[in-house]
Structure 1
Amino acid sequence: MKLPLVFTTFKPILSKIKNSGISALILLWFILLIFVWWKGETFELFGYQPFHSLTSRWLTTTVLIIIAISFIGWKMIHRLKTLEARQQEDKKKQHNPIQEEIDAQRRYLDHWVNRFKRYVDHPKYEYNLPWYIMLGTTDSGKHTLLKEGGNFSELYTSENLEHHINFTVLNNENAVIICPENQLLEQIDNIENKPRLYVKLWANLLLWVREQRNRQPLNGVIITIDIHQLLIANKQQREEYIALLHNRLQDILEISQAELPVYIVMTKLDTLYGFEAVYSALTKEQREEILGVTFTKKGENWKSELSTFWQDWLKQMNNLMPDLLFQTAENKRSQIFSYIRQIATTSDILEPFFENLISNGGKSFHFLKGVYLTSATQVGKMDDVFVQSASEKYHLGVQTYPIWSVKNVQTYFCYNLFKNELFAFPNLAKESRLWRKHYQHKMKVFSIFGGIAALSLLGIWHYFYHSNYQAGINVLEQVKTFKDIKISDEIDQYGDKQLPLLNPIREATLSYGNYHDVSYLLKDMGLYQGNNIGPYVENTYLRLLQLRFIPSIMNGLLKKLNEAPEESEEKLEILRVMRMLDDKTGRDNAFVSDFMKKYWSDVFKGQKQLQSNLMSHLDYALLHTNWYAGRLAGDEQLIEAYQPYDLSVKEAQKELSHLSIYNRVYQNLKIKANSVLSAPLNYKDEIGSGFESVFIANNDELLRIPRFFTESGLLNYFIKQDSRLIDLTVMDSWVLNLKENLEYSDTDRAKISERISEQYVNDYISTWRSAINNLDIREFETLTESINALEKITGGEQTFKRALVVLSDNTRTPALPNKEGKELQDAISSLDYRLMIQIDHSFSDEKSVLKDADDKGSMLQNIYQKLSSLHRYLLSIENAPNQGKAALKAVQLRIDQHSTDPILELQQLAKTMPQPISRWLDQLAEYTWHSVLKSAIVSLEVEWNDKVVKQYKSYLQDRYPFVKNATQEVPLSEFSRFFAPNGILDSFYQTNLKPFIESDLNQISDNNTPLIREDILFQLELATKIRETFFSSGNGIGVQFAIEPLSMSSNKRRGILNLDGQIIDYSHGVKKQTNIVWPNSMNASVESKLTLVSTDKDSSPRSLSFSGPWAQIKLLRAGKVSNAKNGSFDVRYDLNGGYATYRIYIDESDNPFSWDIFSQFKLPDTLY
């Protein structure tokens, strides 16, 4: 089919575009990236704006960059793999002796393909003609057959004389034939140092065919067989010949993965004696006819069809024999008999030959499509196969036959063979199973995705249909809800009481979305109904906004207007909002929205949803209402609704018209700057990443400096507005209903400029001073935080310097031009220079630290030296083997005043520095010292747990005497080791805790909270009391006291008190005071016992006894204490109906029998 002219003209360009997919992808990537940032903010898809926010656009850009990097990485990996494969091939070539022949063969094929492309001139050149492969051994007549029968030509002839190409590729207008030479068929390994050469060349050739035509590698196989050689061959030769051809057919099957039609051409029919006598009389047309049989379908019945053909052929020759004998000379009549006899015999040989050739043990194989007989040329010797066979059988002499004359050469049965038979069934060959499998897989995938796409499209259509349907239902429901609402007569000053009316009608209006912003032809796949229904509902909504919502807001604003101070900026601001709500011509939507947002936020604190609801109605009103225009158009309802505010607005306009023109202009200038200039400068961000580690702001808002008060704001906005300051009064002129054509003289303009500049400079200085005074050093919790802060200050972040540089950049005097005379004077007298020099002088002290900052003797370098010294000092503590010990040692050195540490030096330096660096250095030194103290305590806590608490829990906790009824007792050795002077607890206190407790360092901490917990201090006091009670200096553990028996019941005649072997025997006689020592024995089985002997001789003595090192204490605590006095107390034992009372004399302050000192002693795990 001929293409239209336009397609023919652009065909080369389209071909290039088609072949440049990567370029198209790259172009698409750039288009997407540009689209995201150019149109992304307003782009809408199905009512959703995916790129509206800056975050979403950056996220999309990140995804695109990741895709690009992934694609480039994939291409690089692919390229590297290709290069690696080439390198591997080069290595193989060095070790593969036949690689050169394979490469030469490939080059030949590549050249042929290029020629073939130009010859065919078709995009699908490889499938434009059918491809066949012709198999035939040497002298099988295939080349002669191709030459005489098909008008074939060779597109490319190899010019490589070094490497012989073992096949030819021929073509004509009907087909392409690959004709391998005998070496590739027989594959005889007879070349030295090149093993399996022809096997690999043959495989490479077939692989190339499949690469070129993966769908249908070949359309058929043509086999040429010399009929004379076949007839004279013995059984073994025929079997070898069959095996050879069968193997090549098997190779073709394995590569093509498709069963192909096989056409067998029996050549050299002229070598059978009698051929000339039978066919010499044929006309040209008869010689061009086809002699053979083409089997039906796929040759399922080839045997019967071949037999039928052979019988019919013989029958025809027998029927013609009389005529032939009659017309032929007598000497040729025997030739006719001989020829027919040979043909009749041939069928018995061909049928088993063909059957063995195409049989494959029941597996799929190529099928036989036709058998043909030809004589392309007549050369060589004739032979009578039948006669020769008989002569050989009966040992007769060899019969000689004539040789063909060159003059009598004709072509028999070849002319139409290729065109009408061999090339007549190109599509009979099956498609490659590999291709078909891959194609089926692709079709499945396509079907699945196509089905998913179709279902998705149907689902989307249904979704939009359903959403529009639901939107219509929602409109009806909201309208019904609106009609059912009872209108309130309550006075509304904020608009919130109108929400019950407004919400349903707004919901109905926006049920289909904002129909103003969409193209209804494309919206919702053409199903959008908002353009039909929206306007009707919107009219009602707009009337409600104008008649109820805006008047309710005006009520509240009117009240604030009347309450505002006279001629104040507050009153002017309220009037601006009221005028903008009324008249759209001078309305600034952003200004009104910001004011009302703050206004409602103050009224409805914590009610975010209510505020948002009010703002949504306000935004719609600002976009779509014009109260003033409606009144001008004569709308009676709007005129009536505005009357309550008309007088107050006019009075306010008259009153505020007397305001200072300077204030009005300056306020307008600031308002315009906020909408024109970029977001405020964030001092925190400007200082950099070190801010969070070093500084803390008391008020974050003070760090957000309006761009109006920055160097760029001054030079690029304020200065440029100087000539337009009068023009900025237009807004207030409109608000105050003043004449817009007021004219000011040059003197007026200069005076206004001077006063405004003065006010601007004062605000500029105040803003920056507030910001710099708002910065304090944050308190450090750990030593690491202190070190990190110092590294941020002295390292790459240069936090202190950066804070001052930002200040300097926005308060420095502009550089004067390197000129003289009038130009220099003009620069000095310019407004920007005059303003910046005032600002510069105001911050000269603060910026003096930066003077000659890079010189070694400068203030900043001196500060850095002290901070570096402090940094090394803190690192030495942190990196010490025992950080707590190192911190403690630093604390002790400072207490003992043996040296001045870098912290004290920094505090001294801070006193000599200007603000704010002085305050920062002093705070830095203070908070660093706090971190050293905390580090000492934190590290000591580990040692406290390991050395003290661990021993306490292992040997003292939950044991007697600390738990009264405990079954286990504290070993005296462990008791002594823990509580003795210079014992575990006392040593830890003296070494580690004493500096903090006895030097008032315990109160140097955040918010005056103690570093060491109060309960720890109390436990240490108890431990001191235990040590003083149970231990004497130099003598170890030991308690001395005296005991005296006081009385004994009358039914007891004797009381024996045994205290660790110290006996007090009492028998109602003389009372004797006895000095007692505890412990009297360190033996674990020592016993303390009280025995009372009854007066009744029949009653045995009764005893109260305890054993163990604490037995004496237990026994003395077991009685009832009474008559406690200063230095003594009585203890009574009731035993077996009697009693005994003893008095114990001991120092009251060191009473070992007091239970309180043990029961209250409990050591916690933490120190702070």
Structure 2
Amino acid sequence: MRTLFSWLIRRPVLAFIGVLILSLLVWFEGPLLAFDDKKPFESSTTRWVVIALLLVAWVLYFGLKWLWARLADLRLRQGVVVDTDATVVQPGATESASEVVALGKRFQEALDTLRKAHGGRRGAHYLYDIPWYLIVGAPGGGKTTALNESGLQFPLADQFGKGPIGGVGGTRNCDWWFADEAVLLDTAGRYITQDSFGPADQGAWLGFLGLLKKHRRRRPINGLILAVSALDLLQQDEGVHQHHVRAVRERIKELHDKLGIRFPIYVVITKCDLLAGFVEFFDQLGKDERGQVWGVTFPYVDASHVEQTLAMLPAEMKTLERQLQRRMVDRIQQERDLRRRALIYGFPQQFALLHDSAQRFVREVFSASRYQEPALLRGMYFTSATQNGSPIDRIIGALANSFDLPRAALPANASSGRSYFINRLLREVVFAESGLAGADLRLEQRRKYLQWGGITGIVLITLLLGAGLITSYVRNQQLIQAVAASTGTLQHSAKSLQGRNGPLDALPLLDQARALPTGYAERAASVPLSLQFGLYQGDNLGEQTQATYRRLLTDALQPQIVNRLEDDLRRSEAVSADQLYNSLRTYLMLGDRTHLDPKAVASWGSAWVQTLQGATTAQRAALIDHVAAWAESLDTSTAVPTDSTLIAQARTVLANMPTEQRIYSALKREMMDAPSPAFDIVQAAGKDAASALTRKSGQALTQALPGLYTVEGYKRLLSSVDGALANAAKDNWILDQQTTLDPRQLDDMKAAVLQLYYDDYIKQWEALLADVTVVNFNNLDQAARVLNLLGGAASPLKKFLVAAAKETTLAPVEAQNAAVLDKVKGKLKTLTQALGGTAQPAGGDAGNPVDVHFDDLHKLANAPAGTPSALDHSLAAMKEASAFLDATNAAKKTGSPAPPGDALLKLRREAEGKPAPLSAILQSADGASSALTQGSERERLNALWNAQVAPFCRQAVAGRYPISRGQAKEITPDDFGRLFAPAGLVDDFFQKNLQQYVDMSGPTWRLRGTGSDSLGIPPDTLAEFQRAARIRDTFFALGGNQPSFRFQLKPLSIDPALTKLAIDIDGTVMTLSTTALASATPFQVPSGKGLGAAKVDYAPSNGAGSLHTDGPWALFRLLDKATVETTPQAERYKVTFDLEGKKASFELTASSVINPFRRDVLERFRCLDRL
């Protein structure tokens, strides 16, 4: 019963039971499961498949797991038994290959027996599941004897005898002990010392470690038992002792490095029976007492704290020694033999000597070092397996040496076959701590990641599935509510629409209906995952919402379309024949679904929407979508009642429509329904086109030319024209008449149809070319960038014109279709001449009308290889204009004068005689650039003027004498000179900034004529600069930086009543007599005498007898008190002083006709606030 229960709780059996339960649930409960009214497990076939998959999953999981375990066990056994190439023969070994093979076969038998002994319960895992311990020690250290006498149970003893199985991977350097509790690997002592066959021993040792690591990767060993003979500790000299310590440290380091784990180390002092008194002291112990642990097990701490562990050792050893001391009295009393009493009495001292040596050994082996990882020391223990050999009495030996006496040998121990302090040490200490050994961190971390990854994955999948179902339910509920709410809003909008029946009035309602959740707009949309999981309700809802939208299209949009069609038919005399034909065709399709073509109906509807007044671009686009949806739904709706009178009226009018026009219209509709790639300016000119080009009409550059009017469209038309002619009777149902073409009429009809096409082709391209222009220039920087782009190597303008030239060159297509066109070329020439076209010279080829019309464009864009085209010259001019604008912009920023505008003049001349659109683009670029440069130049000049001249002028000159007569404040000579002198502020500003723009050759200064008048400087401003120049010439003719001038005074008449008259001007005095008039006296102002005054002294006088003025302008103030009259000679003036009623007249003669005495120039000067 117990065996049956243990079999039932095994994992494969429990998993199989789970699979059976799941299979039963699938079979009996599966049909009850439904998702969105679908029952995936209703079919018995489906349920059988699911059950089969469950069974296959069980088989695969446990089968692969069993196979993996078998392979692992096989690898292990092969590693233990067969590796003769690497380990059979070592230098100095005595075993033969045949012995190794025999040992391997024996070990194979042992493994099989071990598996059977456990009933197969853990068979393949057995060697992995029990702990493995490695026993190392110097040769003769008593390792094997201790295992033999350990009291452990070895399950193979009955078959193979008690003892080990030799051979590691074919070697005989290790004994394998298979106990119930553990596997013990007893290594050869020479592996530790490696002093007999150094390289061979080291290679065998490292190979052994590699074998362990290979087949027990996670935890190669669970611990290390370090066996040290008490005899070695007591008798080794210093050199041998140090060699032993180094060897043990190195082997521990190699174990750490090769195995990659940290493991507990147990130091076992063997052969303690060789201590004098050991056998006598413990002779009275029973079996259980001999099995106890004699030693110290340290508290568990991390290996990094080994020094803390070593510090505890002396105290622990003293404790053991005190225990011996307490037991010694009892043992002496129990013993009757005096010799044995003496040995018992001395045993604690003998033990003290041993544990001192043992402590030293342990400290030297396990002390921490920065060059070696610390080891995990778990304890130190004292044992005895057998009591053979002669004991050592270190105390008597020391006394004999001291007194130079011969050393007496103690009698050899009689072997008792009893072991001391081994059994429970292994069972209860070493084996009990098998879990202390660490695993390979990298492997453990990898396994940990995989385990946690698997668990996390399962949890996440479960959570995601649960969350998905909950989310799907919530989202579908929200979807249902959204549909209900939107439907309610739609009903409210429909009620508010009553009384308004225009297409734009119905547009918001149609938009709402189209945008209903799950509605027409979402018919092709993918369903979000959050709405799925078997709960999606969008399909059912979508049928209703889309039906609602189609019903609204029929109710709200169809009447508008029918009314427009009937209106076109009613106005058949007023509308164009092509429009009337299309409207009649669409009207008949609505009334008779036999000829229904939804695409043709949608095409008519799109053209109708474009004619709606007051509609925005967005509204038109939305209405076109609604018309297309309505046209798609016509197959399922009822026919529209038609007015036969209107149909007959339209047919009567269309009966006069030329056949070629009707054929061409039908051909054009056919081509438009399956269009060729359209001509897109942006695609042709490149992505930078929008930065430099625009359209005058306001349309976007991406508004493409229909593909019908491209080379590809022409090719398709040529390949379709014969079919159109042959199918001319296809649309006879529209006009209700029979149209047939005689074969002899086909060439004439083809030529007529092609001529209509060529005319349309020319019109379309002329309109497009005339519509393209350069973008508006907002500033100099942007203008320079645009012109640089247009004139550059990747010029979008060049790309556009070259593409346009290519699309208007149809000759290569005609060459490919010569057989089609040769017969109609003559007809085309005749038609062209009949329509007013220009005939080609005699003997010349009529050519294609499109090529002929755009010949100038072709010449512009094309040139022989290696030579620049005319277009390249124009682009170069744009490039130069760009450089000019850059220079102008830089001058503006620095306040420098603008460079000469020759580049813009060249651009203007380049526009002459160029075809469209290049001519208009060049002219536009020139005009905009000129406006920017000159407007910018005036801004620069105003900025300079207000920065350099205007503030000083207003402060030093405005409102001061002599410019403002009668003012008390005067202009100082220095300020006057700074403003008006040659190279003064006004003169310097004019010469540097304005002179290049001004024509000074006439009496009145004017702006030069070549475009410079765009500076916008008014004539009054130029007049002020001209006055400033007159002031400069007048007051600074003598040089210097202050005003100066010369003149003469000659008396003309003096009143006889005056007895005295003298004139003093800046220190120059003229004394006059009333009897004899003096000759002319020269004067110069300033005279250099520095008096700065002017006066007239006279007598007799009733008052002061003097006219007196002071200051730099004293002469002018004196003249203000006289009467100054001009004469026909510009340099002569008559000056009359009224001296208390007595007059004195003088003739003033200036040194030049340009003189300061004509005060109007000076007094009319004003300081300019803005140029």
Residue 419 (structure 1) shift: 10
Partner of 2:1011: 1005
Instruction: Answer yes or no: is 1:842 the counterpart of 2:852.
Output: yes
Letter of the structure 2 residue corresponding to residue 959 of structure 1:
A
In 1, Cα distance between the equivalents of 2:345 and 2:985? 145
The equivalent position to 2:407 in structure 1, one of 395, 398, 416, is: 398
- With 267-276 and 1014-1023 compared, the bigger mean Cα shift is at 267-276
Instruction: Answer yes or no: is 1:552 the counterpart of 2:541.
Output: no
In 2, Cα distance between the equivalents of 1:695 and 1:546? 44
SS in 1 for 2:406: coil
Letter of the structure 1 residue corresponding to residue 847 of structure 2:
Q
The equivalent position to 1:1107 in structure 2, one of 1083, 1108, 1111, is: 1111
Q: Taking structure 1 as reference, are residues 513 and 947 closer, same or farther at Cα in structure 2, changes over 3 Å only?
A: closer
8 Å CA contact 1:1047–1:1140 kept in 2: the answer is yes
Q: Taking structure 1 as reference, are residues 532 and 149 closer, same or farther at Cα in structure 2, changes over 3 Å only?
A: same
The equivalent position to 2:1086 in structure 1, one of 1065, 1069, 1080, is: 1080
8 Å CA contact 1:1133–1:1140 kept in 2: the answer is yes
SS in 1 for 2:978: helix
8 Å CA contact 2:751–2:824 kept in 1: the answer is no
Q: Taking structure 1 as reference, are residues 919 and 546 closer, same or farther at Cα in structure 2, changes over 3 Å only?
A: closer
Residue 216 (structure 1) shift: 7.9
Letter of the structure 2 residue corresponding to residue 153 of structure 1:
V
Letter of the structure 2 residue corresponding to residue 398 of structure 1:
R
Q: Identity, % of aligned pairs?
A: 16
Partner of 2:232: 229
Q: Taking structure 1 as reference, are residues 178 and 683 closer, same or farther at Cα in structure 2, changes over 3 Å only?
A: farther
Partner of 1:163: none
Superposition pairs of residues 946-1095 of structure 1, within 5 angstroms: 952=949, 956-960=953-957, 971-975=975-979, 977-978=981-982, 984=988, 992-994=996-998, 1002-1005=1008-1011, 1009=1014, 1016-1027=1021-1032, 1030=1035, 1037-1038=1044-1045, 1060=1066, 1079-1081=1085-1087, 1086-1087=1092-1093
SS in 1 for 2:265: strand
8 Å CA contact 1:1054–1:1094 kept in 2: the answer is yes
In 2, Cα distance between the equivalents of 1:539 and 1:349? 102
In 2, Cα distance between the equivalents of 1:648 and 1:778? 50
Q: Taking structure 1 as reference, are residues 744 and 784 closer, same or farther at Cα in structure 2, changes over 3 Å only?
A: closer
Residue 546 (structure 1) shift: 1.4
SS in 2 for 1:811: coil
8 Å CA contact 2:1021–2:1168 kept in 1: the answer is yes
Q: Which runs of 5+ in 2 are unaligned?
A: 1-10, 13-56, 69-107, 112-124, 149-162, 200-204, 303-308, 829-844
In 2, Cα distance between the equivalents of 1:934 and 1:503? 48
In 2, Cα distance between the equivalents of 1:1015 and 1:447? 94
Residue 960 (structure 1) shift: 1.9
Superposition pairs of residues 266-415 of structure 1, within 5 angstroms: 266-267=269-270, 298=300, 369=378, 384-395=390-401, 396-399=405-408
Partner of 1:103: none
8 Å CA contact 2:769–2:916 kept in 1: the answer is no
8 Å CA contact 2:880–2:903 kept in 1: the answer is no
Letter of the structure 1 residue corresponding to residue 556 of structure 2:
R
SS in 1 for 2:1008: helix
Residue 551 (structure 1) shift: 1.4
Residue 456 (structure 1) shift: 10
Q: Taking structure 1 as reference, are residues 1084 and 705 closer, same or farther at Cα in structure 2, changes over 3 Å only?
A: farther
TM-score of the aligned structures, taking structure 1 as reference length: 0.58
Q: Taking structure 1 as reference, are residues 1046 and 230 closer, same or farther at Cα in structure 2, changes over 3 Å only?
A: farther
Letter of the structure 2 residue corresponding to residue 673 of structure 1:
M
Q: How large is the Cα RMSD of the aligned pairs?
A: 8.3
8 Å CA contact 1:962–1:1158 kept in 2: the answer is no
Q: Taking structure 1 as reference, are residues 1010 and 940 closer, same or farther at Cα in structure 2, changes over 3 Å only?
A: closer
Partner of 1:721: 720
8 Å CA contact 2:860–2:869 kept in 1: the answer is no
In 1, Cα distance between the equivalents of 2:464 and 2:1064? 102
Letter of the structure 1 residue corresponding to residue 678 of structure 2:
P
The equivalent position to 1:756 in structure 2, one of 747, 753, 758, is: 753
Q: Which runs of 5+ in 1 are unaligned?
A: 15-118, 158-166, 192-201, 633-641, 818-822, 895-901
In 2, Cα distance between the equivalents of 1:677 and 1:1131? 97
Partner of 1:262: 265
8 Å CA contact 1:259–1:367 kept in 2: the answer is yes
Residue 849 (structure 1) shift: 4.9
Residue 724 (structure 1) shift: 3.5
8 Å CA contact 2:770–2:917 kept in 1: the answer is no
Partner of 1:568: 577
Letter of the structure 1 residue corresponding to residue 436 of structure 2:
L
Residue 1161 (structure 1) shift: 4.0
Letter of the structure 2 residue corresponding to residue 714 of structure 1:
Y
8 Å CA contact 2:805–2:861 kept in 1: the answer is no
Q: Taking structure 1 as reference, are residues 968 and 509 closer, same or farther at Cα in structure 2, changes over 3 Å only?
A: farther
Residue 1146 (structure 1) shift: 10
Residue 959 (structure 1) shift: 1.3
Residue 978 (structure 1) shift: 3.4
Residue 547 (structure 1) shift: 1.8
Partner of 1:498: 506
In 1, Cα distance between the equivalents of 2:602 and 2:1091? 92
In 2, Cα distance between the equivalents of 1:178 and 1:1038? 133
In 2, Cα distance between the equivalents of 1:452 and 1:969? 98
8 Å CA contact 1:662–1:756 kept in 2: the answer is yes
In 1, Cα distance between the equivalents of 2:532 and 2:924? 64
Residue 262 (structure 1) shift: 2.6
Instruction: Answer yes or no: is 1:153 the counterpart of 2:168.
Output: yes
8 Å CA contact 1:710–1:810 kept in 2: the answer is yes
Residue 324 (structure 1) shift: 15
8 Å CA contact 2:136–2:187 kept in 1: the answer is yes
8 Å CA contact 1:783–1:931 kept in 2: the answer is no
Report the structure number with the largest CA radius of gyration: 2
Partner of 1:709: 709
In 1, Cα distance between the equivalents of 2:792 and 2:822? 40
Residue 811 (structure 1) shift: 1.9
In 2, Cα distance between the equivalents of 1:449 and 1:1059? 116
Residue 570 (structure 1) shift: 2.0
TM-score of the aligned structures, taking structure 2 as reference length: 0.58
In 2, Cα distance between the equivalents of 1:1140 and 1:451? 128
Partner of 1:24: none
8 Å CA contact 1:811–1:843 kept in 2: the answer is no
Partner of 2:41: none
Aligned length: 975
Deviations 1:797-819 (A, max 9, x none): 697699458625752644999xx
Residue 229 (structure 1) shift: 1.9
Partner of 1:637: none
Partner of 2:637: 630
In 1, Cα distance between the equivalents of 2:459 and 2:1141? 107
8 Å CA contact 1:981–1:1027 kept in 2: the answer is no
Residue 228 (structure 1) shift: 2.3
In 1, Cα distance between the equivalents of 2:494 and 2:817? 76
Residue 719 (structure 1) shift: 3.2
8 Å CA contact 2:787–2:882 kept in 1: the answer is no
SS in 2 for 1:631: coil
Deviations 1:936-977 (A, max 9, x none): 989998997999887635864531257656887653443453
8 Å CA contact 2:297–2:379 kept in 1: the answer is yes
Q: Taking structure 1 as reference, are residues 434 and 749 closer, same or farther at Cα in structure 2, changes over 3 Å only?
A: same
In 1, Cα distance between the equivalents of 2:825 and 2:324? 118
In 2, Cα distance between the equivalents of 1:1120 and 1:131? 140
